[in-house]
Chains A and B, each alone.
Chain A
Amino acid sequence: MKIKKVMTLLLSAVVGAVFLAGCSGAGTQGTENTAVSEESSAEENGSEAADAGDTGEKHVNVAFFWITPTLDPAVDYQGWVTCRLGVGEALVKLNDDLEVEGCVADSWENIDDTTWEFHIRDGITFSNGTPVTAEAAKASLERAIEMNDRAAEYLKVDMIEADDQTLTITTTEPNAALLNNLVEPVFCIIDTTQSEESIETAPIGTGPYVISSFSPEQTVELVKNDTYWDGEPGLDTITVTQIADADARTMALQSGEVDITNTIDNTSVTLFTNNSDYNVSSIISPRVNVAYMNNAQSSPLHDIELRKAISYGVNREAYAELIGGSVAHSAYSDATPFGNDTITAYTYDPEQAVEILDAAGYVDVDGDGYRELPDGSGMNLRYLQAADHGSADSAILATAVQSDLKEIGIQVEIFSVENLTEYQTEGNFDFYTGNDNSAPTGDPQIWLETMYTDLGTSGKSNLTGFQNDRIDEIIEEMDTAFDPEERYALAAEASQILNDEAANLFLTNSYLNMVSVAKVKNAIQPVADFYFITKDITVE
């Protein structure tokens, strides 16, 4: 009998524990509704910081939204991760005004239309101590060009020559974008004398940190590069973890698992702003939220009048409030120096929109509240929406555009798709969502060429069927426009044409946010988002 009683007691204790756990979860959640308090999480972080301080070693935990299967910078876009880790550096880099600065190379000269000469920094070494000579840089660049089509297109290299610390690149045709394109992380200078296997798991670069261990798509452990050319890095060790989900990154920051992370949704950032336990660094990024419009014959949006009406009919200011960021003026983000201030942009003007629609013959014939096409047949526009890195922004924008266009009598149906590319290539859309980097290398040409022309080999992302003779000319002029100011002026002209043609719905320039706990110093979100960990980040 006794045994039975003891057992009963024990078992009821277990039940109690399990279900109390469940209940207290629900209970606390309930109170959160009314009382918003951040004290408890703040305390957590305080104690974490103290713990870390005791060891004497300067260590931080960083969360990336993406860690690649290997770290070989020449494969796909993996170089972006190698570069964010502070392991790989290219010959040149972008500053926060998206201007080119020296890095592995400290000076360069544009000898003629097809010849560039770079001087590799004297005394610079790879993190394993091997000097970086022009020969080593040449080997690294040639490896990238051989392994990656994008790299080949960016440079259009004819020949690379190395002489001591002087690297000479000859191109097959004038390529004024070459200098900017060299900042692309695919061109990270790595020690190619390493075995291919070790390049995959621990490439040796010139950056402030060195990989000490790597588990694919999960974690990277970094240690300080003692021989870093640009001064002593601020931390001894860093653990970088992949957390793909934006909400999980937010919560990991609050729970103290992570000290620094970025790409956090704007709504979640409010949890950290005005809170002395965290540092928030927000910048307008070169990314533009665009609702691409199908300019091809197959879509009703082929009609420029309809596109113009739609462009007047969306409330960009409200969207910028909703998801954070600034109102987009045109194809290029305000973060770029391409003269957005000279452009006439669309403003929210539903009356104007209605006027245009009425004049062009889009009227509601059957009285269902939605306008029909001028020929009287129904119009229901397909809007393809795809989530980007787990962010809710594209869904919010799609819903908002749909709702605004309903106001001016245009019917839009949203399709949430994961395989956007398939629909795009089939041309099976009227709108599709985009959150695109308008100046991936700080130069206006690539973006314009790939999205708005069918020129060259890189012109294959022009899925909206846009075509404009002047834009095609501008691209050709850009090939030989070596003066940055001249390029910017050309970019501004193109921007204006895209607005005049109402090519697409340029909605907002998005924010990029980096949040760190208070003990971390100098965790600043770079404008070019292939940078993240810098030598300056440190802890108190």
Chain B
Amino acid sequence: MGQASEEKGAVIHRYKEWKRHGRKALLKPAMTKKGKWLRFIIFAILALAVLFIAFLGPVLAPYDPLATDYGASLSPPSPEHWFGTDNVGRDVLSRILYGAGNSFSLTFIMVAAVSVIGTLIGMVSGYFGGILDTIIMRFTDILLAFPDTVFAIAVVGMIGPGLLNTILALSLVWWTKYARLTRGLASVMRSKDFIIQAKFGGVKTPGILFRYILPNVLPQVVVTMTLDIGGMMLSLAGLSFLGLASQPPTPEWGYMLYEGKSYLQTAPWIMLFAGLAIFITVLVFNLLGDSLRDILDPKEE
């Protein structure tokens, strides 16, 4: 009796399982795929909107971001100044709009630079292997021995604060991430049939790297890049906040936070809006990167 009921239970369970998984198997993929694309498109539109604002910032800004007005310093948000004014009476909205351009172009330049350099080194290292690979990887080991913020702080500390130095400092460690990523992919690929065939077919090494390997590592790289835009922006803002990056009076979001910190209580709008600008931008790009990964890298599902 005991055995019979156990068997019966198992059968019912299996039936339930089949129902659950079977239904999922029938319905889920199509739904998910559509959902994934929908999600991606929504976030892509949001990201484009943010970019649009960033590049049209100077046109949209109601005031000169550098024009001071002592009489109107630290005035709260009003119809004239939607986001209020800062400690020397500059319009916070205009500074955020102009700052968008600065913060963005810097982040993009950095992400582009580190990903191109990192990917190239990674591909070469992974494809050729051998001693070159060992040297490059040991070098990244050394760089990775420093926690990234720590290294950036140290480099800025030595060569002196400033935007350019900060970018340099962050880039010095950041490329290793891309190098390791593409190196892993490339080293797997080099023994794949289609590569070997191409080699026999007389394709030269650069051709193999760029025509065969690059397209295969690109999706992963693009996903990482999108996610890094947020990460870079936060790192840059962090260093700006420590007073190590931007120079006044350049409008830049991280630096605005640094300036606004002293007015957290007396003029909270400076910090609030600059912080929100960073937060929203990073959020949008993180969501975009995540949805892109769901499409390009289905491993997780």
The short answer to whether A and B are in direct contact, CB under 8 Å, is yes
Decide if A399 touches B67 in the complex (CB within 8 Å): no
Q: Taking the complex as formed, is B77 at the interface, i.e. its CB lies under 8 A from any CB of chain A?
A: yes
The answer to whether residues A265 and B268 also contact, given A402-B249, A416-B243 and a CB cut-off of 8 A, is no
Decide if B70 touches A33 in the complex (CB within 8 Å): no
Q: How far is the CB of B166 from chain A (nearest CB, A)?
A: 12
Q: How far is the CB of B15 from chain A (nearest CB, A)?
A: 18
Decide if A419 touches B160 in the complex (CB within 8 Å): yes
Contact for A267 among B160, B161, B246, B263, CB less than 8 A: B263
Q: Taking the complex as formed, is A149 at the interface, i.e. its CB lies under 8 A from any CB of chain B?
A: no
Q: How far is the CB of B177 from chain A (nearest CB, A)?
A: 28
Interface members, chain A 376-422 (any B CB < 8 Å): 385, 387, 392, 395-396, 398-400, 402-403, 414-419
Decide if B268 touches A414 in the complex (CB within 8 Å): no
Report how far A247 CA is from B161 CA in the complex, Å: 22
Decide if A267 touches B248 in the complex (CB within 8 Å): no
Interface members, chain B 133-169 (any A CB < 8 Å): 160-161
The answer to whether residues A268 and B249 also contact, given A322-B73, A418-B161 and a CB cut-off of 8 A, is no
The answer to whether residues A416 and B161 also contact, given A271-B266, A396-B87 and a CB cut-off of 8 A, is yes
- Binary A-proximity of B206-228 (CB < 8 A = 1, otherwise 0): 00000000000000000000000
Residues of the A chain whose Cβ atoms lie less than 8 Å from the Cβ of B248:
385, 395, 398-399, 414, 416
Q: How far is the CB of B280 from chain A (nearest CB, A)?
A: 13
Residues of the A chain whose Cβ atoms lie less than 8 Å from the Cβ of B73:
322
Residues of the B chain whose Cβ atoms lie less than 8 Å from the Cβ of A416:
161, 243, 246-248
Report how far A315 CA is from B70 CA in the complex, Å: 10
CB closest residue in chain B, given A414: B248
Contact for B88 among A268, A271, A400, A414, CB less than 8 A: A400
- Binary A-proximity of B254-285 (CB < 8 A = 1, otherwise 0): 00000101111111110010000000000000
Q: Taking the complex as formed, is B68 at the interface, i.e. its CB lies under 8 A from any CB of chain A?
A: yes
The answer to whether residues A247 and B88 also contact, given A399-B249, A402-B249, A417-B161 and a CB cut-off of 8 A, is no
Report how far A385 CA is from B248 CA in the complex, Å: 9
Decide if A246 touches B70 in the complex (CB within 8 Å): no
Contact for A322 among B77, B87, B264, B265, CB less than 8 A: B87
CB closest residue in chain A, given B244: A418
Residues of the B chain whose Cβ atoms lie less than 8 Å from the Cβ of A246:
262
Q: Taking the complex as formed, is A20 at the interface, i.e. its CB lies under 8 A from any CB of chain B?
A: no
Report how far A250 CA is from B87 CA in the complex, Å: 18
Residues of the B chain whose Cβ atoms lie less than 8 Å from the Cβ of A163:
none
Residues of the A chain whose Cβ atoms lie less than 8 Å from the Cβ of B160:
417-419
Decide if A403 touches B161 in the complex (CB within 8 Å): no
Decide if B264 touches A267 in the complex (CB within 8 Å): no
Report how far A30 CA is from B67 CA in the complex, Å: 27
Decide if A247 touches B247 in the complex (CB within 8 Å): no
Residues of the B chain whose Cβ atoms lie less than 8 Å from the Cβ of A33:
76-77, 268-269, 272
Residues of the B chain whose Cβ atoms lie less than 8 Å from the Cβ of A297:
none
Residues of the B chain whose Cβ atoms lie less than 8 Å from the Cβ of A398:
248
Q: How far is the CB of A345 from chain B (nearest CB, A)?
A: 20
Residues of the B chain whose Cβ atoms lie less than 8 Å from the Cβ of A321:
70
CB closest residue in chain A, given B247: A416
The dominant DSSP class at the B interface is loop
CB closest residue in chain B, given A270: B266
- Binary B-proximity of A252-267 (CB < 8 A = 1, otherwise 0): 0000000000000101
Residues of the B chain whose Cβ atoms lie less than 8 Å from the Cβ of A396:
87-88
Q: Taking the complex as formed, is A29 at the interface, i.e. its CB lies under 8 A from any CB of chain B?
A: yes
The answer to whether residues A399 and B269 also contact, given A322-B87, A416-B247 and a CB cut-off of 8 A, is no
Report how far A417 CA is from B249 CA in the complex, Å: 13
Residues of the B chain whose Cβ atoms lie less than 8 Å from the Cβ of A30:
272
Q: Taking the complex as formed, is A11 at the interface, i.e. its CB lies under 8 A from any CB of chain B?
A: no
CB closest residue in chain B, given A398: B248
Residues of the A chain whose Cβ atoms lie less than 8 Å from the Cβ of B70:
315, 318, 321-322, 400
CB closest residue in chain A, given B160: A419
Residues of the A chain whose Cβ atoms lie less than 8 Å from the Cβ of B272:
29-30, 33
Residues of the A chain whose Cβ atoms lie less than 8 Å from the Cβ of B47:
none
Report how far A250 CA is from B266 CA in the complex, Å: 11
The answer to whether residues A399 and B88 also contact, given A271-B266, A416-B248 and a CB cut-off of 8 A, is yes
Residues of the B chain whose Cβ atoms lie less than 8 Å from the Cβ of A540:
none
Q: How far is the CB of B69 from chain A (nearest CB, A)?
A: 9
Q: How far is the CB of B111 from chain A (nearest CB, A)?
A: 25
Contact for A247 among B87, B262, B268, CB less than 8 A: B262
- Binary A-proximity of B80-109 (CB < 8 A = 1, otherwise 0): 000000011000000000000000000000
Interface members, chain B 230-259 (any A CB < 8 Å): 243, 246-249, 259
Residues of the A chain whose Cβ atoms lie less than 8 Å from the Cβ of B266:
267-268, 270-271
Q: Taking the complex as formed, is B66 at the interface, i.e. its CB lies under 8 A from any CB of chain A?
A: yes
Q: A: which residues have CB within 8 A of B?
A: 29-30, 32-33, 246-247, 250-251, 265, 267-268, 270-271, 315, 318, 321-322, 385, 387, 392, 395-396, 398-400, 402-403, 414-419
Other 19 A-B pairs with CB < 8 A, given A33-B76, A247-B262: A29-B268, A32-B265, A32-B268, A33-B268, A250-B265, A267-B266, A271-B265, A321-B70, A395-B248, A396-B88, A399-B68, A399-B88, A399-B248, A400-B68, A402-B249, A416-B248, A417-B161, A418-B243, A419-B160
Q: B: which residues have CB within 8 A of A?
A: 66-68, 70, 73-74, 76-77, 87-88, 160-161, 243, 246-249, 259, 261-269, 272
Query: 14 interchain pairs (CB within 8 A)?
Result: A33-B76, A33-B77, A33-B272, A246-B262, A247-B261, A247-B264, A267-B87, A268-B262, A315-B70, A321-B70, A322-B73, A402-B249, A403-B66, A403-B67
3 shortest interchain CB distances as A-B pairs: A403-B68, A318-B70, A392-B262
